[in-house]
Amino acid sequence: MDLILRNATLPDGGQQADIAIEAGRIVAIGPALNLKGVQEIDIAGDLVTPPFVDAHFHMDATLSYGLPRVNASGTLLEGIALWGELKPELTQQALVGRALQYCDWAVARGLLAIRSHVDVCDDRLLAVEALLHVKKLVAPYLDLQLVAFPQDGLLRSPTAFANLQRAIAMGVDVVGGIPHFERTMAEGAESVRLLCEFAAENGLRVDMHCDESDDPMSRHIETLAYHAQRLGLQGRVAGSHLTSMHSMDNYYVSKLLPLIREAGVAAIANPLINITLQGRHDTYPKRRGMTRVPELLAAGIDVAFGHDCVMDPWYSLGSGDMLEVAHMGLHVAQMTGQEAMRSCFRAVTETPARILGLEGYGLQVGCHADLVVLDAGDPIEAIRLRAARRFVIRRGVVISQAPPAHAQLNLPGRPGKVDFRLAK
């Protein structure tokens, strides 16, 4: 064996197991494997998980905080305007440099697959070229999936649809959209139809920014589900944000959820961003704005959590930590039950892996040996502690290491070390 991890705790709990890896794949999992590894690591009961997956990100904007100025109001719309100011000043070199730096952070956080939207409304397609280049550069250690995103509106921006088609021809993977930003509800619905038909004709997945609004009448998810079903796109379409659902009438939602389920459309909530950007027009009480995660899950709909933004025109914080995203999602959705907290962990691991269609993802024999060892005893503790990533492994090779989060205490009669862990 190339590598054996000894005494791992698996996300589903139960007995500790060894994980044997050869030629970049998991070849055996079981208690006290009678095998010899070239490298063996005793992880002493730490949690081992497949890597974190971010289903929704903007790598063309990341780490640009303060360029050319800070978002003063903090709103989504000022963020879009600010991004519009920055776009003409972007250079390939700066885009690639920032994206690579973010990917370094991601790897150190055990985040090894990212679906990033890339704005196609700049006729130069500078960001598309830059991120396609980055995708190639990081491919050995990180799966970067790109979405052609018409930030200024598919119909509202005169060259957006042509640019989107050019981006796809250049190698961008997924069809994006932003129906709530079109001029009218009708144009929003028309953009959804055009984009879904384009995706169906070209065998592509769809992931739209959909109803990122507090307006309960923003119902483009209904249209997205309709066309996904009509065109046979089940399992290949995601609606990102869906924040208007937070404010919708309960009766309407009771009809909507089964339609989304029937259409095989997944939902991607972005808790850090939704709790920050939504409800900005409210006085008090202020709406949380995040979509109805527990209800979507109860209806049998896949729900992933995305990071969306890190240090960009919309969000001034973040560091690529999907456990921070899960932590916020858990709080905003009040998902405090044991099973609910575990589903928040799945929302940043196996569910987004399914939405992205990642091949060989998982913790079974035959899967890629892409693994993260966390300084925690189970997934709930991992969220509680935003646990240190002790080892990040890609195709059987350790590509990042970090020390456990210990503190040395100097108190008479008390233990000398605190590690904050309880789960065993």
- Nearer to Fe ion among residue 55 and residue 341 (C-beta): 55
Nearer to Fe ion, 156 or 406 (CB): 156
Which residue lies nearer to Fe ion by CB, 279 or 306? 306
212 is catalytic: yes
- Residue-wise DSSP of 301-355: --EEE--B-SSBTTBS---S-HHHHHHHHHHHTT--SHHHHHHHHHTTTHHHHHH
Q: Which one from 182, 212, 324, 381 is the annotated catalytic residue?
A: 212
Number of residues that bind Fe ion (CB under 5 A): 1
The nearest distance, CB 90 to Fe ion, in angstroms, is 18
Helix (H, G, I), strand (E, B) or coil at 238: strand
Nearer to Fe ion, 214 or 308 (CB): 308
Angle ∠(374,108,270) on CA atoms, nearest 5? 85
Give the residue at shortest CB distance from Fe ion.
308
- For the bound state, the minimum distance from the C-beta of residue 220 to Fe ion, rounded and expressed in Å, comes to 15
Minimum CB separation of residue 178 from Fe ion in Å reads 9
Distance in Å from the first CA to the final CA of the chain:
28
Q: Do residues 307 and 329 touch, judged by C-beta distance below 8 A? A: no
CA 162, distance to chain mean position in Å, is 27
Closest distance of CB 65 from Fe ion, Å: 16
Collapsing DSSP to helix, strand or coil, 408 comes out as: strand
Nearer Cβ to Fe ion (51/239): 239
Least distance (Å) from Fe ion to the CB of residue 267?
Answer: 14
Site for Fe ion in 287-316 (CB under 5 A): 308
Residue 189 contacts residue 178 (beta carbons within 8 Å) = no
Both structure tokens of 21? 């890896």
In Å, how far are 115, 307, 368 from 359, measured between CA atoms? 14, 22, 8
Query: According to CB under 5 A, which residues from 308 to 367 bind Fe ion?
Result: 308
Interface positions with Fe ion (CB under 5 A): 308
Q: Which sequence positions are flagged as catalytic? A: 212
